[in-house]
Structure 1
């Protein structure tokens, strides 16, 4: 099991890498709810796992790459204890999914496979560069009609970096709007145009994604993790975490570490 969380977010490469990981799926995907402000790229080692769309099982097959757009809210399933998953979470400033676009299947070409192999190799010097290249190459294979092109605004780009840097601290909508030199209503509207979600939704998703990574990898207690991600109310944290990830924090930690 390996993981990286980092950023590549500038005018040259408009992609932020949020997580790269290889994991055993059986305990983690049974079931959970996929969400978050990032794209998801999946490559499975064996059949027997996938997503739920209107209660229908959609199986992710080996030899294929699957892309899921941000804010997907899809359920998951896994019946095969042997299935391993390589996944990449990344954000794009330029594109989101068009209405009705839930997932897309791509052939795992030799180029995509090589980039995936390099991205999941913890010892590869160009691991994160390969991850950015993999994300870009996969998205360029998508049909144009299933993409939504976001507005570009350097103020929102800076705000996204601000949220990732400061999510552990108290952040109000008023404070974020002031950082951008904008009124609250104008800021919320512009942020949604540029990201597909509200600032509060984005902040919440960043905090809980960070909490999930801590549960997977750190020895901090759940109360300590709450404090680390800026959510002091343990009951609220546990309830929201279960809604987003399908498990309580304690059950998620156990499942992830077993996997």
Structure 2
């Protein structure tokens, strides 16, 4: 979709891709964290569920470190910037997923829930199936993953789901960006789409998402590229174009800064798992 067409069709976009209380799986892996958690900065544009089978992982949110302990299961809310660190290379199950209202926004950054019998059994089953090379997007396994995610969401206190920063203009823009992360939108374009001045738009976007528009869009592009590197044979040149980067060299620099490895090395490592 071209920029002009996107601006023309702005009025016809749905308010949300997800109906109320629905969940959509974006990514799921069971692996040792390795270098991917060694002082790496992340921005969460989705919900993130983490369970570490071993001690040694931690995340820093707002200058506060949180240990990722095997007795707990953790949810990190959308719009959260966090830093990761690890010792001992713990094994981890992680899930990225989207959720409809009222779970699409949250007042807290991270939740720690005690690992109960149901969650422990679900995690063990999910990890066993993934390690047997079953795709997390296969119908039986995806339902188990979504069941685990929904069960954890149900534990979030209602007060933490109050939409104090909700704004329909930003919500609509965010769904547009997620649908077409490759489109060449400037801050001015986004402000126009939201019927706001540049300064007003930047302040509102930061308040609603916890991120700048540039950082938010870059993260979406890199997450899409990461998925394509893992699950397709698309060339790195094609991935850079499909994800909105100027060229392969720009994409490689951004990906290495974000993930720690250049795209080619990341693809090789992910295909060996």
Per the shorter chain, which TM-score range? 0.7 to 0.9
Q: Number of residues paired by the alignment?
A: 244
In the TM superposition, residue 74 of structure 1 has moved relative to its aligned partner by 1.5
| Contact 1:68–1:104 (CA under 8 A) maintained in structure 2 | yes
- The CA distance in 2 between the partners of 1:177 and 1:247, in whole Å, is 34
114, 117, 124: which is aligned to 1:107?
Answer: 114
Q: TM-score, normalised by structure 1?
A: 0.74
In the alignment, structure 1 residue 156 sits paired with structure 2 residue 170: yes
| Contact 1:155–1:180 (CA under 8 A) maintained in structure 2 | yes
In the alignment, structure 1 residue 200 sits paired with structure 2 residue 209: no
- The CA distance in 2 between the partners of 1:66 and 1:49, in whole Å, is 14
Write the deviation string for residues 193-251 of structure 1: whole angstroms up to 9, x where unpaired.
Answer: 22111222211110011111111111122111110100023333222212211212122
- The CA distance in 2 between the partners of 1:236 and 1:112, in whole Å, is 41
| Contact 2:76–2:111 (CA under 8 A) maintained in structure 1 | yes
Distance 1:22 1:118, change over 3 A: closer
Look up the match of 2:266.
Answer: 252
| Contact 1:118–1:130 (CA under 8 A) maintained in structure 2 | yes
Please tell me the root mean square deviation across aligned C-alpha atoms, in Å.
Answer: 3.5
Q: Which structure features the higher share of helix residues?
A: 2
Mean alpha-carbon deviation: is it higher for 33-42 or for 9-18? Answer: 9-18
Write the deviation string for residues 57-100 of structure 1: whole angstroms up to 9, x where unpaired.
Answer: 94542x531233443331333635xx543211235532153xxx
205, 223, 234: which is aligned to 1:209?
Answer: 223
Distance 1:127 1:183, change over 3 A: farther
Write the deviation string for residues 35-61 of structure 1: whole angstroms up to 9, x where unpaired.
Answer: 3323321123x325523658x894542
| Contact 2:38–2:84 (CA under 8 A) maintained in structure 1 | no
- The CA distance in 1 between the partners of 2:215 and 2:25, in whole Å, is 19
Q: Secondary structure at the match of 2:256?
A: helix
In the TM superposition, residue 136 of structure 1 has moved relative to its aligned partner by 4.9
* Structure 1: runs of 5 or more not aligned: 1-7
Look up the match of 2:4.
Answer: none
Look up the match of 1:85.
Answer: 92
Look up the match of 2:29.
Answer: 21
| Contact 1:159–1:176 (CA under 8 A) maintained in structure 2 | yes
Q: TM-score, normalised by structure 2?
A: 0.71
Q: Secondary structure at the match of 2:81?
A: coil
| Contact 1:28–1:256 (CA under 8 A) maintained in structure 2 | no
How do residues 3-22 of structure 1 correspond to structure 2 at under 5 angstroms?
Answer: 9-10=17-18, 12-13=20-21, 17-22=25-30
Superposition misfits of 4+ residues, deviation over 6 angstroms:
118-121, 143-148
In the alignment, structure 1 residue 34 sits paired with structure 2 residue 48: no
In the TM superposition, residue 140 of structure 1 has moved relative to its aligned partner by 5.2
Write the deviation string for residues 14-34 of structure 1: whole angstroms up to 9, x where unpaired.
Answer: 766432333454475466443
